[in-house]
Amino acid sequence: MAKEIEIGEFQVLEEKIRKYMPSADLSMVEKAYSTATEMHIGQKRVSGEPFVTHPIEVAKIIADMELDLESVTAALLHDVVEDTDYTIEDIKREFNDNVALLVDGVTKLSKIPYSSKEEHQIESLRKMFFAMAKDVRVILIKLADRLHNLRTMKSMPEETQRQKARETLEVYAPLAHRLGMSKIQCELEDLSLKYIDPIGYYEIIDKIAQKRSEREQYINDIIEILKKRLDEDNIHYQINGRAKHFYSIYRKMFTQNKSIDDIYDLFAVRIIVDTVSDCYAVLGMVHDLFNPVPGRFKDYIAMPKPNMYQSLHSTMFGPNGTPFEIQIRTWEMHNTAENGIAAHWKYKEGKSGQSDLDSKLAWIKNFLEIQKDTTDADDFMHTLKIDLFSDEVFVFTPRGDVVNLPAGSTPIDFAYSIHSAVGNSMTGAKVNGKIVTLDYHLNNGDIVEVIKGAANHGPNLDWLKIAKTSQARNKINQWFKKENREENIVKGKEIMERELKKVHVDISILNDEKFVAPLLKRYGFKQLDDVYSTLGYGGASATKFLAKIKNARDGQLPDIEAPALGDLVSSKPSKPTSNSGVIVEGVENCLVRFSHCCNPVPGDDIVGYITRGRGVAIHRRDCVNITHDLQGMEADRFIKVSWDMGADSNYQTLLCVTATDREMLIVDTTLALKENNAIIKNYNARTAKNGIAIIDIVIEISSTAQLEKIMKSLKKINGVLSVVRRRQG
């Protein structure tokens, strides 16, 4: 019976492959199938089913992506090295070097000891990314592997379910998005939500089911109106309703504090046509039939997303006034939107060609170039989340070239994304023709011009605190390492000697190779002079470095995955030594910074998050970026903080004012701010369709009480429709 099941499973896999490669020689796949079945014999999954069912199902997912035979073969073999005696050398000998590379890239680092489970996981991710830079098929197999594991995770312990689901939401789903694979991304997110918040997951399912027929009828009515007009205009098309996936609804409810009844775009209408010109013709037709919602049109055809996604998006008011979203794209765009990078692989008779894949995957190599000298696994994850997976803004050079950057990026990040020489010679910046401060947060559509000095004078050390991207910070650090090195070494030695005297430690501790050499290697220093040079320009803390040496001497190996509480937390509570205006419980001489994702001001309920090497980040307790973590795996990295009511400090926040456009509106809003003693840091006004003005104002204030007073004053202005506090960036 088992043999019959095996044969039946191979026939299913073969049929999937034959659909897109009808005449391919499947002998290599069949050999891999037999090898996997033989090597995994006797092994069981937690559910009790034969282990080999997992690689077979992963191979089927790869075949559904229509990848080549080497990919299917590697999918069948992807667990043999990790879970059996079969080796990479065996795969090279029995199959070929490419299959071995793919399997090795997916295989976890299981033979190397690590200080924590988290460090092991992150180092395995690093290994996977380096393999992915050589061959993108590595990550496609890994995504298929993770997808099947989530589909069959019911039998796993609850803690394992949550850990895998969280890792998926943090790494694999964003990676699928970055590669443009929306079909895989949506399923990964929905399955993860089911394990992270099962109550919320099933509540969404129930509420959608309750009004499904009503919503579907509404969309069907819209589709009928569109069909009639499309037929009249003789446009060849396919049209359908598209349901928003569960995790997307969950995020919207969570981040915007909405009930499901308040979300009107649960369903969207998608129109697929033959040509780009048809896309724009249909857009004009749709805008003629329905009134567009101001400010809700996006042209991803003229300006594709970095993950290659192209489509026209517009939100319209439907027949009963309820908004709905419409997407318009060609068939080629649709294939790319669904399958992303996988859609760009073309195979014929076993031969492969990558077309322009190198340019589409340049971000992977750029990311690894920045990370090549990084030994801190936490820094790797921080860069991964910020540089690759955060929301993005699209800005323009004065010549009209598009530059995409992480949300919250500044003119400094823009300059260094062009070239390190541009950043190093920067003296200021203009956005949309106006001079802005270097900490200005760039917005979609901004035209950014770098103002350069006559000489390559180099960056300011404070730029390290302003720059959002690790690419910019890395280039700034490189400049300081190269420039004035000898002077920095002398200065760094003086700092170290003062610190040694302060903590009553003999300088001979620095000559103990047994403890110092491993630390130098771990933190990316080749010799002590590198440490002194970094101390000299302010890029590291002598206190922290000495603490690591002392811990190593006392038998405590540095654990770069655990929160560095020993570096920050004192046994006595103290008041802040800076003018931050925040008291961090039990911490002395601590760097405090306010997170731009929520911009807390006095009066907000706040919490501190201990970062590694960047001090304590202050968030509003209801900030969406930390709410999961407060109760999750990183709960121990939060620390109690409170406002120092005796401090005399100002804090930035962003207000968005929506109003009926009229003369003197800008004057009236400015006067209202001045009357309430608000310091205006940035003012950006624009007019949308239907005569609606949208004004984004960054102001400095001292408390939530002042903020409430300002917002009340703004709401009283003639024509103002709403005043909302928002995140910057």
Alpha-carbon torsion angle 130, 133, 136, 142, nearest 10 = 20
Q: Is 83 a catalytic residue?
A: yes
CB 243 within 8 A of CB 327: no
Residue 188: pLDDT band with limits 50, 70, 90: very high
User: Backbone phi, then psi, for 98, in 5-degree steps?
Assistant: -65, -45
Is 171 part of a structural domain of the chain?
no
pLDDT tens-digit series, residues 352-361: 444 455 555 5
What is the rounded CA–CA span in Å between residue 187 and residue 443? Answer: 30
Q: How much is the average pLDDT of 173-183?
A: 81
For residue 508, count other CB atoms closer than 10 A to its CB: 8
Q: In CATH, what number is assigned to the domain containing residue 438? A: 3.10.20.30
CA distances from 177 to 150, 161, 186, 418 (A): 17, 22, 9, 25
Residue 67: strand, helix, or coil: coil
Nearest to 91 by CA among 105, 72, 74: 74
Is 60 part of a structural domain of the chain?
yes
In this predicted structure, the answer to whether residue 271 has a pLDDT above a threshold of 60 is yes
Is 20 part of a structural domain of the chain?
yes
Q: State both tokens at 319.
A: 């027949």
- Among 82, 559, 588, 622, the active-site one is 82
Specify whether 496 is located in the same domain as 469: no
Q: Is 170 a catalytic residue?
A: no
Specify whether 662 is located in the same domain as 600: no
Specify whether 393 is located in the same domain as 429: yes
CB 25 within 8 A of CB 70: no
pLDDT tens-digit series, residues 451-510: 887 655 678 877 888 888 777 887 887 787 777 677 777 877 887 777 777 767 677 777
Residue 568: pLDDT band with limits 50, 70, 90: very low
The distance in angstroms from the start CA to the end CA of the chain is: 60
Positions of E strands within 178-299 = 237-243, 267-273, 291-299
In this prediction, residue 579 carries a pLDDT of 45
Which of 61-65, 273-277, 337-341, 679-683 has the lowest average pLDDT?
Answer: 337-341
Q: Which amino acid is at 360?
A: K
In this predicted structure, the answer to whether residue 405 has a pLDDT above a threshold of 90 is no
Specify whether 383 is located in the same domain as 451: yes
Residue 90: pLDDT band with limits 50, 70, 90: very high
Residue 707: pLDDT band with limits 50, 70, 90: confident
Specify whether 478 is located in the same domain as 489: no
Give, to the nearest 10 degrees, the angle between helix 331-339 and helix 182-196.
40
Q: How much is the average pLDDT of 397-414?
A: 81
In this prediction, residue 115 carries a pLDDT of 43
Final residue in a domain of this structure, among 643, 659, 691? 643
Q: In CATH, what number is assigned to the domain containing residue 132? A: 1.10.3210.10
In this predicted structure, the answer to whether residue 2 has a pLDDT above a threshold of 60 is no
In this prediction, residue 74 carries a pLDDT of 93
What is the rounded CA–CA span in Å between residue 491 and residue 540? Answer: 13
In this predicted structure, the answer to whether residue 92 has a pLDDT above a threshold of 80 is yes
Nearest to 641 by CA among 618, 611, 614: 618
Specify whether 542 is located in the same domain as 610: no
What is the residue-wise DSSP string for 332-370?
Answer: HHHHHHHHGGGGG-EEETTEEE-TTHHHHTHHHHHHHHH
Final residue in a domain of this structure, among 422, 456, 482? 482
Is 28 part of a structural domain of the chain?
yes
Which of 34-43, 354-363, 649-658, 670-679 has the lowest average pLDDT?
Answer: 354-363
Residue 562: pLDDT band with limits 50, 70, 90: very low
In this prediction, residue 61 carries a pLDDT of 92
What is the rounded CA–CA span in Å between residue 78 and residue 88? Answer: 10
Q: What is the DSSP-derived secondary structure letter of residue 52?
A: T
The pLDDT > 70 percentage for the chain reads 72
Q: Average model confidence (pLDDT) for the chain?
A: 76
Is 163 part of a structural domain of the chain?
no
Specify whether 31 is located in the same domain as 92: yes
What is the rounded CA–CA span in Å between residue 113 and residue 690? Answer: 63
Nearest to 496 by CA among 486, 508, 513, 512: 508
CB 270 within 8 A of CB 296: no
- Among 83, 119, 332, 634, the active-site one is 83
Structural domains of the chain, count? 6
Is 260 part of a structural domain of the chain?
yes
Is residue 449 exposed (0-12), middle (13-18) or buried (19+ Cβ within 10 Å)?
middle
Alpha helices in 43-134 (DSSP H): 53-64, 69-77, 80-83, 88-94, 97-106, 117-134
In this predicted structure, the answer to whether residue 375 has a pLDDT above a threshold of 50 is no
In this predicted structure, the answer to whether residue 636 has a pLDDT above a threshold of 70 is no
Which of 290-294, 574-578, 642-646 has the lowest average pLDDT?
Answer: 574-578
Specify whether 49 is located in the same domain as 118: yes
What is the domain extent for residue 703?
A: 651-726
In this predicted structure, the answer to whether residue 603 has a pLDDT above a threshold of 80 is no
Specify whether 476 is located in the same domain as 435: yes
Q: In CATH, what number is assigned to the domain containing residue 286? A: 3.30.460.10
What pTM, to 2 d.p., does this model score?
Answer: 0.53
Q: How much is the average pLDDT of 173-179?
A: 82
CA distances from 73 to 13, 24, 36, 48, 457 (A): 11, 13, 10, 25, 55
Specify whether 694 is located in the same domain as 625: no
Residue 197: pLDDT band with limits 50, 70, 90: confident
Is 197 part of a structural domain of the chain?
no
What is the rounded CA–CA span in Å between residue 477 and residue 31? Answer: 51
Q: How much is the average pLDDT of 546-570?
A: 45
Specify whether 707 is located in the same domain as 624: no
Q: State both tokens at 199.
A: 């109550």
Specify whether 388 is located in the same domain as 408: yes
Residue 343: pLDDT band with limits 50, 70, 90: low
Is residue 603 exposed (0-12), middle (13-18) or buried (19+ Cβ within 10 Å)?
middle
Residue 257: pLDDT band with limits 50, 70, 90: low
Positions of E strands within 134-206 = none
DSSP-derived pairing of the beta strands 592-594 and 616-620: parallel
Q: In CATH, what number is assigned to the domain containing residue 684? A: 3.30.70.260
CB 307 within 8 A of CB 177: yes
Residues 6+ apart with CB under 8 A from 723: 655, 656, 657, 658, 711, 714, 715
User: Backbone phi, then psi, for 567, in 5-degree steps?
Assistant: -80, -25
Final residue in a domain of this structure, among 155, 170, 185? 155
CB 704 within 8 A of CB 601: yes
Is 347 part of a structural domain of the chain?
no
